[in-house]
Amino acid sequence: MTDTIDDIASEDVPAVESPPGGWRAVAAKEVADHLLSGRFVVLMGVLGIATAAAVFAASGGLRDLGTDTEGITALFLKLFTVAADPVPQSLLFFVGFLAPLLGIMFGFDSVSGERSQGTLPRLLSQPIHRDEVILGKFVAGLAVVTIMLISLVLFVSGIGIFRLGVVPSPGEISRLAVWLVFTIIYVGFWLALATLCSVLAKRAATSVMIPVGIWLVLTVFGGFLISAAAGIISPRDGSEAGEAAYVSTVQSVSQLSPVTLYDLGSNVLLEPDSRVLLASGLVSVEQLDRALITELSLTQSLAVLWPQIAILLAMTSVMFALAYVSFMRDEVRA
């Protein structure tokens, strides 16, 4: 007996299932494209030149101290935090200044670039869930950033061992590893912000201008904005109580800036004798002999730092969640 039209129509037609690990396929494709792109070569070159200049200057300054370096704690980590002539800033300063560009450059056109090229509808028509597309693109950008930062740390470590003849201790290696993870989280925030702008903006030019503008404002004018906001919340009246309230407000408001969070956290991680949160990149070779000689353990430093890590991780998660939700609700037309 032949099936009627109604019987055929009532049969369940198997839906096209997304292949397992679809985001991995997207991530692998994006990683290959990033590694072969011109922006990867340019960014790696700029970051490599800046850090090489800083570490050569720092290692030269440390070598000039001669026997005075015997009382310095965590000598190898001073390669990252010391500023010496002729480079006026430390390696940590250059990493903190340039690292956000890595996240922005690998995220600003993740969606807007596909949209402007007309390939986004074709990509979403593949048997891959939409959420796996945005996840794969974000993971790919973070993977490339991780490769660059690991290469940078190994490069600097090699120069330091060659120039100083000092091998990092297990404690210093642990601190560098934690700092590397902390830096990846920091760059992940800017990558998530650039991805969000890429989803919301229709053009890649617009999606890159917004995060770059935010980065410049927070980097160049961040201190002024924090002081101005603290002055409005807790006006300085010249009294001791007023000054204490102002300083407390400055510390609270500064927690809203990812740039400040990264600077403070990096200072605690790479300066084992640091017990308070101070701005990084302000240590000179001449100041090393006046530094505290009591070294904190990594666990003790993390006890000081964990609020900054938690806040920065929360900021990164929120930014990616906003990009994820925006992309899932975005209407894509062929």
Per-residue pLDDT of the chain (334 residues; tens, 9 = 90+): 444 444 434 444 444 454 556 788 889 999 999 999 889 999 999 988 888 888 888 777 776 665 555 556 677 888 888 877 777 788 888 898 989 999 999 998 888 888 888 888 888 887 888 889 999 999 999 999 999 999 999 988 888 888 777 788 888 899 999 999 999 999 999 999 999 999 998 888 888 999 999 999 998 888 888 888 888 888 887 777 878 888 888 888 888 889 999 988 888 888 877 655 544 333 444 444 444 456 778 888 888 888 888 999 999 999 999 999 999 887 766 5
Please give the sequence-ordered ranges of beta strands (E in DSSP) within the chain, or none if there are none. Answer: 82-83, 283-284
Task: Determine contact, residues 186/258, Cβ cutoff 8 Å.
Answer: yes
Report pLDDT digits (tens) over 79-95.
Answer: 888 877 777 788 888 89
The DSSP letter of residue 237 is -
Provide the pairing of β-strand 82-83 with 283-284.
Answer: parallel
Count of Cβ atoms closer than 10 Å to residue 228 Cβ: 12
Task: Tell me the torsion sign for CA atoms 170, 301, 257, 143.
Answer: positive
**pLDDT of 92-145, one tens digit each?**
888 989 899 999 999 988 888 888 888 888 888 878 888 899 999 999 999 999
Q: What is the pLDDT of residue 217?
A: 92
Of 80, 203, 239, the C-alpha closest to 153 is 80
- Mean model confidence pLDDT for the chain: 81
Say whether 331 sits in a helix, a strand or coil.
Answer: coil
- Dump pLDDT digits (tens) for 168-178: 888 889 999 99
In sequence order, the 6+-apart residues with CB closer than 8 A to the CB of 216 are: none
Q: What is the pLDDT of residue 291?
A: 47
pLDDT at 250: 84
HSE-CB at 217 with a 13 A cutoff on CA atoms is: 9
* Predicted pLDDT at 114: 83
SS3 207: helix
pLDDT at 112 (0 to 100): 85
Q: Tokens for 175?
A: 């601190």
Is residue 145 within 8 A of residue 191, CB to CB? The reply is yes
